[in-house]
Structure 1
Amino acid sequence: MFSKAEAQQIKKEFWTTFADTYPRKWLLYDTKIKDVSFKFYVDNKKAMVMLDIEPKEDYKRRIYFEKMESLKNILLEEHVPDAVFEKEHYLESGKEISRIYVTLTGISLYNKATWDAVFDFFAEKMTAFEMFFYEYEDYIRDLDINT
């Protein structure tokens, strides 16, 4: 077990090493859609690449998710074949969001021997998500275009 300070140091080293290994600017929060963002996540059991849809207005969340669902076959067939769609996902805070994600298991943030696998997973899946998003962003972004 690690102390809190040791765990923070390992996390910092992980993210610094990832940035050095894949030195590029990721889309992440720059989707130009308020409260719709791509995220990386890693803990001691899994790594995830996620698209979180979390506008405060529930109707907007539903519309954005429905737009993504209307493109689901394209996303799965051409970009991220293992993506999982969750219309209703609850954060630890209890907040309801929608999430589309992929997961890599059998890794640990605290096992440096698995870092390369996580870095490659992050780069491959986020790049695929981004390519999909850039191709369909006008449709996804425009709330007036109905599904």
Structure 2
Amino acid sequence: MYSKEESLRIKKEFWTQFAEAYPRKWLLYNTKIKDVTFKFYVDNKKAQVLFDIEPKDEEKRKIYFEKIESLKTILLEDFLEDAILERNFYLENGKIISRIWVELTGISLNNKATWETIYDFFYEKMDAFERFFYENEDYIKDLEINT
């Protein structure tokens, strides 16, 4: 078990090395859709690249998710064959969001020997997610176009 300070140091080193290995500006929170974001996640069991749809307005969340769902074949065949789509994903705090993600297991943030594998996974999967998003951005953003 690591102390809180040691855990923070490891996380900082992990993210600093990732930024150095893949120096680019990721889309992340800059989707220009309120409460629709891309995220990187890693812990001591898994790494994930997430596309979270979490508007407070339930109807908007439903529409955005259904738009992505209508593009599922394209997403899976052309970009991320291992993507998981979940309309009602429950966060630890009880909040319900919609989430599309890919996951890598068998790694650990505390095991530096797995960092390169995580970095490669993050780069490959986030790049694919971003390409999918940019290719379908106008459709996804436009709430007037129904699925």
Question: After TM superposition, is the score higher than 0.5?
Answer: yes
| Structure 2 residue identity aligned to 1:45 | K
SS at match of 1:50: strand
1:67 equivalent to 2:67? Answer: yes
Give the TM-score normalised by structure 2: 1.00
Matches within 5 A, 1:1-147: 1-147=1-147
Q: CA deviation at 1:111?
A: 0.2
Give me the whole-angstrom Cα distance separating, in 2, the residues matched to 1:127 and 1:80: 10
SS at match of 2:104: strand
Give me the whole-angstrom Cα distance separating, in 2, the residues matched to 1:122 and 1:3: 26
Q: CA deviation at 1:107?
A: 0.2
Give me the whole-angstrom Cα distance separating, in 2, the residues matched to 1:18 and 1:104: 16
Task: Tell me the number of residue pairs that the alignment of Structure 1 and Structure 2 aligns.
Answer: 147
SS at match of 1:102: strand
Q: CA deviation at 1:20?
A: 0.2
| Structure 2 residue identity aligned to 1:24 | R
SS at match of 1:110: coil
| Structure 1 residue identity aligned to 2:31 | T
Give me the whole-angstrom Cα distance separating, in 1, the residues matched to 2:71 and 2:33: 17
Give me the whole-angstrom Cα distance separating, in 1, the residues matched to 2:121 and 2:100: 16
SS at match of 2:41: strand
Q: Where in structure 2 are there 5+ consecutive unaligned residues?
A: none
Give me the whole-angstrom Cα distance separating, in 2, the residues matched to 1:57 and 1:96: 11
Give me the whole-angstrom Cα distance separating, in 1, the residues matched to 2:16 and 2:92: 26
Q: CA deviation at 1:49?
A: 0.2
Q: Where in structure 1 are there 5+ consecutive unaligned residues?
A: none
Q: Deviations over 1:42-89 (max 9, x none)?
A: 000000000000000000000000000000000000000000000000
Give me the whole-angstrom Cα distance separating, in 2, the residues matched to 1:11 and 1:55: 29
